[in-house]
Amino acid sequence: MDLRYDTFYIGGAWVRPDSGRTITPVDASTEEPLGEVPEGTGADIDRAVAAARTAFDDPSGWAGWEPARRAGAMERLADAIDLRADGFVARVSAQNGMPVAVARQLEAGYPSAILRYYAGLARELSVAETRPGLLGGPIEVRRAPVGVVAAIVPWNFPQALTMFKLAPALAAGCTVVVKPSPETVLDAYLLAEAVAEAGLPPGVVNIVPGGRAAGAHLVAHPSVDKVAFTGSTAAGRAIGEVCGRLLRPVTLELGGKSAAIVLDDADLDLAKIGEGLFGATLLNNGQTCFLGTRVLAPRHRYAEVVDAFTAFAGSLPVGDASDPATRIGPMATRLQRERVESYIAKGLGDGARLTTGGGRPAGLDRGWFVEPTVFADVDNTSVVAQEEIFGPVLSVIAYDDVDDAVRLANDSDFGLGGTVWTSDPERGAAVARRVQTGTIGVNRYIPDPAAPFGGIKSSGLGRELGPEGLASYQQTQTIYL
């Protein structure tokens, strides 16, 4: 792959960059360069925000269109994205190491499904309602689009996480500046091509890849009305502080360290639960924010749970992300592998017992691979149990009874995802309700577009997806008639 671009998609046109600075995305499986794109500067961000502002403020423009008309344009965009499915799969998987089998589902089919879901919500959207006032006279309550949205996304699910923001923003009538992460820029150009083909009005969607400085410039830009961010907790805190000072609405989807609670009646037959377990604990090489990387096991079945997870992690084929048989690809970057390896060393230093993995897989000398790794005898207060590793590393922690399991699950700075594994789904749901977390699954975990997704505590603020995700791109205006 050698893909070269020399423009940004701003204001419905392909625009030359302000500077000669470039980004070289790299193949995580081979360490080979994949092409080159311009790196956005503050001046490029200024132009993108100005285009989004002009598009939003046009009285006959996107924000003023009937929602059903916006829905039609969103469905054309979904079609244009689907036409490029193979390209999205190949580009995302090469850049961040996501196995193609995962990318096919989550970076090709899923984003356009989210877009179609929000197009459907836009068709049903009631932008104004009149209700009787308590103190006399009718009252009109309008739901207006919040304005120009800054969407800042990370590299782990670049298209899905862009669409978590773009789809509800478009449905609400907002205009958007997307800033992709420097690691995953090539898929962003496919999205820009799809936007151009779908014929969205100029300035409704603008895309400027860039690094932290470009992101910070966008967050603080005076013409931005709302910030939607997914990424690390550290960056989220910095962005939240800026938005707090500016009194600017912000949603923050940040890190996690979720619990996978194995109840004493759980069926550990991997033939039955293996797929669900994969999606809930090791999806995308462990580089997924909602994963249950703290496995809580009943003490009297502890050895059995450790054996099951050891067999499960040890059985997953590790290899080049472009191979359809690969279940675990490389880490997205060299730095990410260094981080994961330093956590494995820390776990060993703290006395955890390695039951599988822990090193680099044999025969894979190129690419940033780490073996799927399981630690047993982990204390919930240790670093590997408390900090987000963002790699294929699971820690198995023993509990005494269900109260103890819930206590351990909640003894975390984070609260994003989680799962409960049981033969009794009602019992599982009762335990799930006691876990302090934004989302949790019983015997499965899939962020469904129809329901709100997001975290509590250090996992973030606000919700994406579902009607709740749309509401965060609207502001109400009350008119006492």
Q: Which of 253, 371, 388, 464 is catalytic?
A: 253
Nearer to ligand NAD, 240 or 347 (CB): 240
Check binding of 390 to ligand NAD (CB under 6 A): yes
What is the closest distance, in whole angstroms, from the C-beta atom of residue 448 to ligand NAD in the complex? 14
Report the amino acid identity of residue 205: V
Check binding of 231 to ligand NAD (CB under 6 A): yes
Contacting range for ligand NAD; rule: CB under 6 A; set: 76-84, 253-261, 278-286, 399-407 = 253-261
Contacting range for ligand NAD; rule: CB under 6 A; set: 111-119, 250-258, 398-406, 466-474 = 250-258
Q: Are 80 and 194 in contact (CB under 8 A)?
A: yes
Q: Which of 75, 107, 253, 320 is close enough to bind ligand NAD by CB under 6 A? A: 253
Q: Is 253 a catalytic residue?
A: yes
What is the closest distance, in whole angstroms, from the C-beta atom of residue 209 to ligand NAD in the complex? 9
Q: Which of 109, 211, 276, 467 is close enough to bind ligand NAD by CB under 6 A? A: 211
H-only helix segments in 316-398? 334-349, 383-386
Neighbours of 247 (CB within 10 A): 6
Closest listed residue to residue 220, CA positions, set 152, 279, 285? 152
Q: Which of 99, 215, 391, 415 is close enough to bind ligand NAD by CB under 6 A? A: 215
Q: Are 261 and 409 in contact (CB under 8 A)?
A: yes
Contacting range for ligand NAD; rule: CB under 6 A; set: 22-30, 52-60, 69-77, 235-243 = 235-243
Helix, strand, coil: what percent of the chain each, to 5?
Answer: 40, 20, 40
Distance between CA atoms of residues 396 and 400, nearest Å: 13
Distance between CA atoms of residues 53 and 43, nearest Å: 15
Q: Which of 27, 107, 225, 388 is close enough to bind ligand NAD by CB under 6 A? A: 388
Q: Are 88 and 189 in contact (CB under 8 A)?
A: no
Distance between CA atoms of residues 246 and 154, nearest Å: 23
Alpha carbon 468 to its chain's center: 17
Q: Which of 230, 326, 472, 474 is close enough to bind ligand NAD by CB under 6 A? A: 230
- By CB under 6 A, name the binding residues for ligand NAD: 152-156, 161, 179, 181, 211-212, 215-216, 219, 230-232, 235, 238-239, 253-256, 289, 388, 390, 416, 455, 460
